[in-house]
Amino acid sequence: MTDRKAKTTIKTELPQFDGKQENFQVWKMSFTSYLVLSRLKHYLLLSKTEPTDSDDTSISKWHSDNEDFYAILQMALDSHTKRNVVNTFKEEMNGAKTWEKINNYFNSKTMLSLTQLEENLSHIKMKEGEKPTDFISRLQETVNQIEEIEQVATSERKMITYIIKKLPLSYRSFVIGQTSE
């Protein structure tokens, strides 16, 4: 009788980024998970600059890891992002610097996107004659996009408040009746 330990094999594919701002945060989470599952998480912790107080072996490993990380990033990015974000920095094959630049580029756009989404949310109103389910779906879609950027869930109470504030006047008696119970 042999004692075998069961190993779970997880097949991972390198997540591809499509270059769309609205998909960046989800791609980043998938890409990070890919690195973790591929036992490459240490790439995310690489220094952007060559270590100066290390031996030749450590410096050589740093160069090798950075070049590998750079190559993985290049394989995961769409041609637009490679051309307009990565290649504009004219970096040597430094994965750590490239990762930082990609994050800075898309995170700055994310803050602008978040501001726009919050503005959109403030203007969403239920239209007269609109089905409540259609209205709630429109509202929920915007809230989901905000949650995706902020990585924080909206409470049920806050969602109910959004809905009540956005109802048309024809629902006023319903709202008053529900809140007085």
pLDDT digits (tens, 9 = 90+) for 123-172: 899 888 889 899 989 888 888 878 776 767 788 888 888 888 888 877 76
Query: Would you call 17 helix, strand, or coil by DSSP?
Result: strand
In 3D, which of 107, 10, 32 has the Cα closest to residue 76?
A: 32
pLDDT-based confidence at residue 18 (cuts at 50, 70, 90): very high
Confidence of residue 76 (pLDDT cuts 50, 70, 90): very high
Q: Residue 77, SS3?
A: strand
pTM of the model: 0.56
User: Quick one: pLDDT at residue 8?
Assistant: 56
**pLDDT, position 90:** 58
pLDDT (0 to 100) of residue 1 = 47
